Structure 1
């Protein structure tokens, strides 16, 4: 039930997002916000009132009027009658909530008893008929305030409609009382909160209140009926199992067996979404590090705030790029080299000349020493430490600045005049790439790319490839879900985490899956493309896992690891390369699922299909099956022809359309593919398709495709191919 419910709930959210002109990830901040906020505000107040030793009916009435399920005008009138006998009303409420039973049967009986008594005390319509639904709504509000982990405020029609929209497997109690209905609604809401889709979209202290808000907001949308998506198939469960154990899987088989379709469809079934990541950012604010050598650059530790000094640049400093980027009014953290070897002073650029900088002292602070930085998990792999602070000037990355502030006394973002800005980034959680012979490590991981500067100079810089970029996105989304502040910035190394943080990452990894589909994976030089990362692919070598491996990339020198929530689905055409020829190291790290021609897919057509179209589909399917039998016999099973070549034939609605589509597939797709297979084996090609379609030369060393057939003549020739006695169709050499 869990995955199917998750799928259908995700589909419902997609419909809501489309209606609201937003994304599913943004629904967490926008959708049903008024209804959810009502519960966050007033239900805790109601709980406080109910738990007091003496129930104050006046205060109780004031709070209950604000609570969603009991706050309509009609319910207020009914509530007024209910509390006319104040003592009886108080006793009825206390009888409900005191020592409330844990057992569902006893709880339902307690709720029904309250409803009956509330009706007796005043929950009746103007004609004096019992209004049990209004009494049950009041009861559900009381229980929701007191037990938010088990109950939701209740209106039967809202919860039944909601459950139908997501195809909830546990049906509403057929002959249920109000008590059974209220308990059922609480269970339904709790099951929804356990889905990955809900946890990905909402993170609330009381998630059932969020589900209740959705239930109350849904009717106002007037969405059309949403049919549940088909359940995940057994084949998809096979992919899920392999990904859980191996983290990557390859779908392999002959051409046209639906490998790419299945890979994309698998992700679609799992309702892969873009993720919204929240993080603090410096945006366009720059902070630099400047290394001071005393006494050459001045005794800055003795300088009071406001003192200015000249920093010589010509001929003795490195990293001209950062000197060019520095602008007047930019702030830098001064690192005092020599014996001190510590960050000590905040300075500001007052004036910059071609060969010097005039700095002004802003403040002194007790910053980290070089040893402190070497021992800090966030700085020990930074460029600052790797070059032992031997840089005249360098712009600090956000992570470097964050760690320096954390290790300093008297230094804050505010004292530096920095305002961290909250940014929201929508990041896609899937990528599609096709391998080919010229695809390399530089495209997949990272490499040097030529760049022309503004003055026309040609230079090179390191740029990340598709896998490195996706790994970074997967980690950041995972860290955001795990409420870990560290981010994998670009450029930069994967941030080091402590054991507790890594454990939290692993616990939420299944909730934030990222996928890379590699089509035609065997057409690339896999060993060269993956390089040293081939070892990191193993499930237990992922970041945070028991045998985690982190490497240093060759170009950028950044630390890299593969996050545990990144999955790879590859497709392999065995007509290009047999699975037996795949690198053994790769085979050990991937799970493999074979996909062969599936004739049942072609024969499984709707019952109202045109009779003439059905006949042609049957003939085409029989012919395909016979041809594949011959290919297996005289070539091998890896070069069979997949069913997808005939899917357009299956999907036609009339005999004429089906015949025309079959003719197109035959002459433009199937025959050219067979020509490629048998270009140097005319006799074997002849065995497969027969004399109606090819003729072979007298010496049997060549062949040519005969003039194309049309209409019923073509259909009869295809039908003849389905004859198991293929000797009947054997072509003879031309005289």
Structure 2
């Protein structure tokens, strides 16, 4: 698909969210939407949905729902409270990426592939700064570069550190626990050279080990060095912040895709063994970010200054590529070209004409209207569900508008259970409440939608009842005598003729 930004819009119950599964697969697998629909018709929706779940588990599909309180901090990035440790309950504040920025980082992540096609980097790797016996050049660092490992000290402390282990300071304890437990295989380590510069980039490939065969700096992990003895200034990449001498800490401002430009400077990157050579490449698979109920969010508040970056021509790698400096991290950010945004919009909540103009210009809109043909083979006794739906929608279009029609999805469950009890449940719990909301309890219009004006009293879903003239006393002078009150007739929900006379007058 050439369109990077798509919104499926239509009345409620028209299968917008359902169809995001098919569109997402078409995008990821570089197929047409029609090809996926043929698969659904042949093998069933469950077969397609299983693949969708697999891509979602791999991180190629993400799903979120917009709402009134959803903001920039949740979508792009923000400062959020985090519990530092379960035992102390301390609360600290950390800069965290929002769902969309984290997704874009994954879509543009660094891929380090071995000769057997294994990707050494984890799905969302943490980037660590490590000081190998301090800054500059030293014997421990040289040994680490030669033997594909990282090593830190505090050899006088127990081999395995627990939260209640007595250490020199709490900072040392936290740092050793990070090295031992928090750091994961697939994470990235940057070796400190000085306060602005690193001299090596590596990937963690082994668990924690305490190596007694070493004289000092016995706490150890195996790494795969991608580049050593380099001199790369990462001051700007780190949000114009200096590196410190602290032995180990997370570089929250840097992600794997930020390091790609540095690594691409070293095409000779390979392992010491030619049989285990590696290559470094950018992610090229398509990624799909699904936004359900996109019109329920405050678009200006959520996207902020980044609304321009989602344009197809402004994506990373395009001739008109644009990036923006994020307000919190002070880092450059752009939307990768392999990220597709797929939104859904319920027109009953908000008309497309009222949608944020900046958003409308940047999306292709695909209308999804009720498909009564989907229900052609659905009968509840003598009730033709497709005719019933079609007639109600024609009346809604006249009395309200086409954006508030009733979707076929409300009746899909009748394919599995075509009983009057199931149909009664759908009408009582979904259709009648929906019409009440549409017409603000104008029951005369609801009666027109349901064909009640042409039915006998016992078949009406909504009955009109005249007010007792003596309800307020004989002396009260009021025009209330001309007013009707309305009552939902529960028996009608279980009467076949109540439904057939909606369309068969």
> Could you say which TM-score interval applies, normalised by the shorter chain?
0.5 to 0.7
2:14 paired with 1:253? no
- In the alignment, which of 53, 56, 62 is matched to residue 431 of structure 1? 62
* Per-residue deviation, 1:446: 1.1
Counterpart contact for 1:682–1:701, Cα < 8 Å = no
Counterpart contact for 1:683–1:700, Cα < 8 Å = no
Closer/same/farther in 2, CA of residues 458 and 648 from structure 1, 3 Å limit: closer
* CA distance in structure 1 between the aligned counterparts of 2:13 and 2:103, rounded to whole angstroms: 28
Closer/same/farther in 2, CA of residues 581 and 617 from structure 1, 3 Å limit: farther
Counterpart contact for 2:387–2:503, Cα < 8 Å = yes
* Per-residue deviation, 1:674: 0.8
- In the alignment, which of 688, 694, 708 is matched to residue 491 of structure 2? 708
* Per-residue deviation, 1:645: 0.7
- In the alignment, which of 389, 412, 418 is matched to residue 624 of structure 1? 389
Partner of 1:475: 108
Closer/same/farther in 2, CA of residues 478 and 456 from structure 1, 3 Å limit: closer
Question: Per-residue displacement from partner, 1:116-158 (whole Å, max 9, x unpaired)?
Answer: xxxxxxxxxxxxxxxxxxxxxxxxxxxxxxxxxxxxxxxxxxx
Partner of 1:642: 407
- In the alignment, which of 255, 258, 271 is matched to residue 495 of structure 1? 258
2:420 paired with 1:659? yes
- In the alignment, which of 451, 463, 474 is matched to residue 695 of structure 1? 463
Partner of 2:350: 577
* CA distance in structure 2 between the aligned counterparts of 1:617 and 1:588, rounded to whole angstroms: 47
**What does 1:464-543 correspond to in 2, within 5 Å?**
464-476=97-109, 490-492=252-254, 494-495=257-258, 512-543=285-316
Partner of 1:722: 503
Partner of 2:150: none
Closer/same/farther in 2, CA of residues 595 and 701 from structure 1, 3 Å limit: farther
* Per-residue deviation, 1:457: 5.4
Secondary structure of the structure 2 residue equivalent to 1:672: helix
Closer/same/farther in 2, CA of residues 548 and 622 from structure 1, 3 Å limit: same
Quick one: higher RCO (CA 8 Å, sep 6+), 1 or 2?
2
Question: Per-residue displacement from partner, 1:53-80 (whole Å, max 9, x unpaired)?
Answer: xxxxxxxxxxxxxxxxxxxxxxxxxxxx
Closer/same/farther in 2, CA of residues 720 and 527 from structure 1, 3 Å limit: same
* CA distance in structure 2 between the aligned counterparts of 1:686 and 1:472, rounded to whole angstroms: 54
* Per-residue deviation, 1:662: 1.5
TM-score (norm 2): 0.56
Closer/same/farther in 2, CA of residues 566 and 617 from structure 1, 3 Å limit: farther
- In the alignment, which of 420, 445, 449 is matched to residue 80 of structure 2? 449
* CA distance in structure 1 between the aligned counterparts of 2:358 and 2:282, rounded to whole angstroms: 29
* Per-residue deviation, 1:722: 0.8
* Per-residue deviation, 1:513: 1.0
- In the alignment, which of 421, 430, 444 is matched to residue 683 of structure 1? 444
Closer/same/farther in 2, CA of residues 697 and 638 from structure 1, 3 Å limit: farther
* Per-residue deviation, 1:557: 1.6
Counterpart contact for 1:680–1:702, Cα < 8 Å = no
Larger strand share, 1 or 2: 2
* CA distance in structure 2 between the aligned counterparts of 1:476 and 1:519, rounded to whole angstroms: 25
Larger helix share, 1 or 2: 1
* Per-residue deviation, 1:573: 0.4
* Per-residue deviation, 1:658: 2.9
Question: Per-residue displacement from partner, 1:651-673 (whole Å, max 9, x unpaired)?
Answer: 33xxxx43222222111111111
* Per-residue deviation, 1:590: 0.7
Partner of 2:162: none
* Per-residue deviation, 1:453: 4.3
* CA distance in structure 1 between the aligned counterparts of 2:111 and 2:441, rounded to whole angstroms: 53
TM-score (norm 1): 0.39
Counterpart contact for 1:484–1:501, Cα < 8 Å = no
Closer/same/farther in 2, CA of residues 480 and 627 from structure 1, 3 Å limit: farther
Secondary structure of the structure 2 residue equivalent to 1:708: helix
* CA distance in structure 2 between the aligned counterparts of 1:456 and 1:707, rounded to whole angstroms: 54
2:340 paired with 1:567? yes
Secondary structure of the structure 2 residue equivalent to 1:535: helix
* CA distance in structure 1 between the aligned counterparts of 2:382 and 2:300, rounded to whole angstroms: 43
Partner of 2:222: none
Counterpart contact for 1:696–1:703, Cα < 8 Å = yes
Counterpart contact for 2:382–2:496, Cα < 8 Å = no
Question: Per-residue displacement from partner, 1:417-474 (whole Å, max 9, x unpaired)?
Answer: xxxxxxxxx8421111111111111111111112354666544221111111111111
Counterpart contact for 1:273–1:429, Cα < 8 Å = no
* CA distance in structure 2 between the aligned counterparts of 1:715 and 1:515, rounded to whole angstroms: 45
Secondary structure of the structure 2 residue equivalent to 1:695: strand
* Per-residue deviation, 1:689: 1.6
Counterpart contact for 1:623–1:721, Cα < 8 Å = yes
Closer/same/farther in 2, CA of residues 529 and 617 from structure 1, 3 Å limit: farther
* CA distance in structure 2 between the aligned counterparts of 1:709 and 1:466, rounded to whole angstroms: 48
Counterpart contact for 1:543–1:549, Cα < 8 Å = yes
Counterpart contact for 1:444–1:468, Cα < 8 Å = yes
**What does 1:217-232 correspond to in 2, within 5 Å?**
none
Counterpart contact for 1:517–1:569, Cα < 8 Å = yes
* Per-residue deviation, 1:718: 0.5
* Per-residue deviation, 1:261: 0.2
Partner of 2:324: 551
Closer/same/farther in 2, CA of residues 683 and 531 from structure 1, 3 Å limit: same
* Per-residue deviation, 1:559: 1.9
Question: How many residues matched?
Answer: 313
* CA distance in structure 2 between the aligned counterparts of 1:478 and 1:537, rounded to whole angstroms: 23
* CA distance in structure 2 between the aligned counterparts of 1:262 and 1:463, rounded to whole angstroms: 31
Closer/same/farther in 2, CA of residues 450 and 496 from structure 1, 3 Å limit: closer
Closer/same/farther in 2, CA of residues 720 and 625 from structure 1, 3 Å limit: same
Closer/same/farther in 2, CA of residues 710 and 484 from structure 1, 3 Å limit: closer
Partner of 2:207: none
Q: Calculate the aligned-residue CA RMSD, in Å.
A: 3.4
Which ranges in structure 2 are unaligned for 5 or more consecutive residues? 30-50, 128-251, 266-280, 453-459, 467-481
* CA distance in structure 2 between the aligned counterparts of 1:456 and 1:681, rounded to whole angstroms: 54
Runs of 4+ in 1 over 3 A off after TM superposition: 268-276, 451-459, 477-491, 496-502, 613-618, 696-704
